[in-house]
C-alpha cells in the first residue's frame, strides 16, 4: 500500500529513467515493498526521496522516512525539523529519533544510526532500509580503505545491497543511487529546486573522509582523471563480483580442509596436502577466515603470510606469538591452531 503524494508533479528526467532501469535490472526494490528511507536532509537523501516518490506509482511502494538526530551540531534540532516539515509537505510519514548523547566519532555515529534503523524497521513490521550513497561515496570509501591497508573485501566498498548488521541480519540495506555521482545528484536538485539542508560538518577537515572529498579528490580530478569518481566506483563494482566468487570458493575449501581439534573446545586443524593444491589467493582467504574465527583483532597481512608459509613448512614448525595466546604448529599433514590456555596438545 502506498501513500498519496501531496507535492506537485515533477517532470520526468533522465535521472528518473536511469534509476528506473537500475531498479529493474538489479531487482533492488520489488513492487509493493515497504521502504524506510534514511534522510539526513542533505542533497543525496532528499534527491532519493523525491525520485522514489515519483517512481512510486509504477512500483506501489510504501514509503516512510527515518531521520537520526546525532545531536553533534548546534543546529541539529532545526535540521530534524526541516526533514519533518519536508516530509509533511510531500505526504510521507517521518519519524525523528534523537540520540541520548552526541556521538562525534564517525564509526560510533554510524553504529548508533544503523542500530536505530534496525529497531525502527523491526517495530514497524519489517521492510527495506534505503540510503542515498552515491558512486562518489563508493569511490571515496574504496580509496579510504586502500590507504588504511584494507584487503580486497574492503575495496569492494559499498555494495548495492547487504544485511543491515549482525544484530539485524534479516533486514536489507539497499543503496539505489550507486550509479550516479554526487555532481549528478547536485545538478538534479538544482534543476528541480529541491530544498536541501546545508550540513556544516561536511566542510570540517577534521574528518578523514571530508579531507578526501575536499582536498584529495579535486586534485585527482584535476591532475589525473576528471571521471575518477566513476572509475573507482566501477572498480568497486568489479571487485564485488570477484569477491563473491572467491568467498564461495573459500567456503568450499574450508569445508574440505578445516576440522575442529576437539569437539566443544576452540581449535582448528587445517589439512595441508589439500591446501597445497589450492591457489595462493584461496590459501590466504582461508587463513584469514580461520584467524577471524579465532581472535578478535582483524587479521593483518603479516599474520596471514606467516600461517600461509606453514602450509609448506617442515614438521614441528611453529608460528611466532599470536594474539590471545593463539599458536600454530605443523603436525604431520595438519596445521594445528589452538590456545595455550586450553591445554590442547601441541
Report DSSP letters for 246-257, one per residue. Answer: HHHHHHHHHHHH
332 band by pLDDT with thresholds 50, 70 and 90: very high
Among the ranges given (73-77, 153-157, 247-251, 338-342), the one the predictor scored with the smallest mean pLDDT: 338-342
235 band by pLDDT with thresholds 50, 70 and 90: very high
All CATH 3.40.50.620 domain ranges in the chain, comma separated? 14-240
277 band by pLDDT with thresholds 50, 70 and 90: very high
Query: Which pLDDT value is given to residue 6?
Result: 45
Query: Which pLDDT value is given to residue 10?
Result: 64
* Mean predicted confidence (pLDDT) in 217-237: 96
Among the ranges given (35-44, 243-252, 292-301, 322-331), the one the predictor scored with the smallest mean pLDDT: 292-301
* Mean predicted confidence (pLDDT) in 75-95: 95
Q: Check: CB of residue 192 under 8 Å from CB of residue 90.
A: no
Position with higher pLDDT, 204 vs 58: 58
User: What does CATH list as the number for 14-240?
Assistant: 3.40.50.620
Run of H or E including 13: none
> What does the alpha-carbon distance between residue 162 and residue 165 come to, in Å, rounded to a whole number?
9
Among the ranges given (28-37, 228-237, 296-305), the one the predictor scored with the smallest mean pLDDT: 296-305
Query: Which pLDDT value is given to residue 264?
Result: 63
Residue 315 pLDDT more than 90?
Answer: yes
Backbone angles phi, psi at 283, to 5 degrees: -60, -45
Position with higher pLDDT, 233 vs 156: 233
Backbone angles phi, psi at 248, to 5 degrees: -65, -40
179 band by pLDDT with thresholds 50, 70 and 90: very high
* Mean predicted confidence (pLDDT) in 331-343: 82
Q: Check: CB of residue 131 under 8 Å from CB of residue 160.
A: no
All CATH 1.20.59.20 domain ranges in the chain, comma separated? 263-342
The CATH architecture one would assign to domain 263-342 is Up-down Bundle (1.20)
Name the residue with cell 568497486: 236
Measured torsion, CA atoms of residues 54, 57, 62, 66, in degrees rounded to the nearest 10:
0
Q: Check: CB of residue 29 under 8 Å from CB of residue 73.
A: no
Per-residue pLDDT tens digits for 97-149: 998 887 667 778 888 999 999 999 999 999 999 999 999 999 999 999 999 88
Output the average pLDDT for the chain. Answer: 90
Query: Which pLDDT value is given to residue 263?
Result: 64
Residue 8 pLDDT more than 80?
Answer: no
> What does the alpha-carbon distance between residue 22 and residue 29 come to, in Å, rounded to a whole number?
10
Per-residue pLDDT tens digits for 28-37: 999 999 999 9
Specify which residues 173 forms β-bridges with: 129, 162
Query: Which pLDDT value is given to residue 342?
Result: 45
Amino acid at each position: 500500500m502506498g501513500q498519496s503524494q501531496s507535492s506537485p508533479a515533477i517532470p520526468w528526467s533522465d535521472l528518473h529513467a536511469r534509476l528506473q532501469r537500475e531498479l529493474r535490472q538489479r531487482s533492488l526494490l520489488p513492487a509493493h515493498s515497504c521502504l524506510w528511507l534514511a534522510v539526513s536532509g542533505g542533497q543525496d537523501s532528499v534527491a532519493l526521496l523525491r525520485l522514489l516518490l515519483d517512481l512510486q506509482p509504477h512500483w506501489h511502494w510504501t514509503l516512510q522516512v527515518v531521520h537520526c538526530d546525532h545531536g553533534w551540531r548546534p543546529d541539529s534540532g532545526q535540521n530534524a525539523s526541516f526533514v519533518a516539515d519536508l516530509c509533511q509537505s510531500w505526504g510521507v510519514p517521518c519519524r525523528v529519533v534523537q540520540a541520548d548523547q552526541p556521538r562525534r566519532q564517525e564509526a560510533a555515529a554510524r553504529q548508533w544510526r544503523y542500530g536505530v534503523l534496525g529497531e525502527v524497521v523491526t517495530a514497524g513490521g519489517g521492510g527495506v532500509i534505503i540510503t542515498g550513497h552515491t558512486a562518489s561515496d563508493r569511490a571515496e570509501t574504496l580509496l579510504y580503505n586502500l590507504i588504511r591497508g584494507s584487503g580486497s573485501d574492503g575495496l569492494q566498498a559499498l555494495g548495492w545491497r547487504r544485511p543491515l548488521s549482525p544484530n539485524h541480519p534479516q533486514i536489507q540495506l539497499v543503496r539505489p543511487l550507486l550509479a550516479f555521482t554526487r555532481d549528478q545528484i547536485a545538478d538534479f536538485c538544482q534543476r528541480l529546486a529541491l530544498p536541501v539542508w546545508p550540513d556544516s560538518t561536511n566542510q570540517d577537515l577534521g574528518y578523514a573522509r571530508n579531507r578526501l572529498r575536499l582536498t584529495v579528490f579535486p586534485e585527482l580530478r584535476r591532475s589525473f582523471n576528471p571521471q575518477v569518481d566513476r572509475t573507482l566506483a566501477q572498480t568497486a563494482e568489479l571487485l564485488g563480483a570477484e569477491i563473491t566468487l572467491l568467498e564461495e570458493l573459500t567456503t568450499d575449501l574450508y569445508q574440505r580442509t578445516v576440522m575442529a581439534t576437539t569437539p566443544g573446545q576452540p581449535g582448528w586443524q587445517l589439512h595441508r596436502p589439500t591446501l597445497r593444491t589450492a591457489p595462493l589467493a584461496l590459501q590466504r582467504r582461508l587463513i584469514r577466515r580461520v584467524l577471524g574465527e579465532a581472535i578478535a583483532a582483524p587479521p593483518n597481512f603479516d599474520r596471514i603470510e606467516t600461517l600461509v608459509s606453514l602450509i609448506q613448512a617442515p614438521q614441528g614448525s611453529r608460528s611466532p606469538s599470536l594474539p590471545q595466546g593463539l599458536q600454530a604448529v605443523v603436525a604431520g599433514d595438519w596445521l594445528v591452531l589452538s590456545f595455550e590456555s586450553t591445554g590442547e596438545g601441541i
